[in-house]
Structure 1
Amino acid sequence: MLTQNPNEAIRPDFTTQEHKDARQKLFDEGFNADQAARSLSALWTLTNNADKEHWALKQRRRHEAERREEEEEEEHRQLIKDEQEAARLEDRKKNKNKYVPLVRGKVPSDPTIIPAQYALRKMKAGDYCELHYFTNKGLEDAKVSNLLAEPDALVMLPAADGLHSWVPAAAVKDPKSAPIVKDENLSWEDFNEAAPRMIASM
């Protein structure tokens, strides 16, 4: 079996002492020194050419085997990929909520405006609604109203001295019964506060 590339082999010099025994066999057959050396060279060339053909065939077979192996590996990788994709699609079908894209919204920078429910109901119904409910005073009244979970509840309100005190809910005015400032009596400051808030709530 060839282990070295015969294309890289160098033809020996058959006139040297190293090949004396080979030449002697040809001398015994009646060859002279020159004929013996040329005959040995020709024989080596024929053998080397045959080795080159065998080597080329061996390389073609090796390359073909490597190509088939690579194709099989690629088919195996593709099969695994297809199985993983099928499993992913099946999981996506079973767990749709798991793959819902996450929407990253901006954190609101504007303060939240929560007017009285009474005012919102009037606007929703298309009734006239006073701007008072969207002034600072109206929003404060609405805030107190929203804190009332039940009539007997207590509400903590700031006192005149800056401290907070608990006040019975019954003592807190309902925004509906609180005095309403008519639109024509609003100050320009209150109007400029309320108008944009009402528009934003529409």
Structure 2
Amino acid sequence: RPLRDPHNAVCPDFWDAVFDGHRQALVNDGTAASEEAAVELLVARWKERNEQEKEAWDRDHPQNEEPQAQPRAPSPAVAEPGDGRNLPVPRTAVPKGPVFAPAAVGVPPPKSLDAPPSQHAQNKLKAGQYVQLWYFTPEGIQEATSTLYSGREEAVTLEREDSALVLSTNSGSKKAVDDEHLTWNQVSLARSTFLTWASTYRWPEDHTDMLARFWFNLDVHPLRAKEGGDRACVVYQARMRRLWHQSLDGPSPFDLSIIDDGILERIAQDL
């Protein structure tokens, strides 16, 4: 339910830099063929939502249709039969059809049907936040593919928070697996996809290089040759990568690529 009169709402400028990631997300997942088409789609969705909010507002505030305040209606005991002057005039619902972006005549289709990671994972990368590696495993990509082509996933929607319209995206997959419970093979397959998409969302090169060295140093660590070594490396990379993300916002960031053999050995002993 809108908190402010949506009749006075102004459509956001979707070319503004704050919407860069949302335009690119629509292009990346094939929803829009270009950034221009993405802006047109966002504007169309905003207008559709605004019209729905106007109707809801008018239903909840029928007195707004009266040019002046009307006197209090007489009690049923003294009201004249059939006198409906004090009743609000009902609005007639106007059927609405679906809202489409303008037809992109002459724009060729995407050159491949390769699915990106889920929109949830892309949003995490765009914000520079920790995201589970599972979304970049073959299983995670397959899940993103099935939702993308089945139409179950909306890449971007408009929601109201307090008094403002904000862009919102779907939440994470219920099938997602915590990093500690992946196999080392899944980690190895996921990391290259993760780094590719982190670069797509303009993560600093020194950060992506550090992550690449981190996984490589674990990949060649001698502990992997021992029984339970792979499991220990999986748990180590899960805990240390999460801790590294937390440290980036604090006073004590550290070099993730330096493997702490003592911690790694303790993890192996505890498993």
Same fold (TM over 0.5): no
Task: Name the TM-score, length of structure 2 as normaliser.
Answer: 0.24
User: TM-score scaled to structure 1, two decimals?
Assistant: 0.31
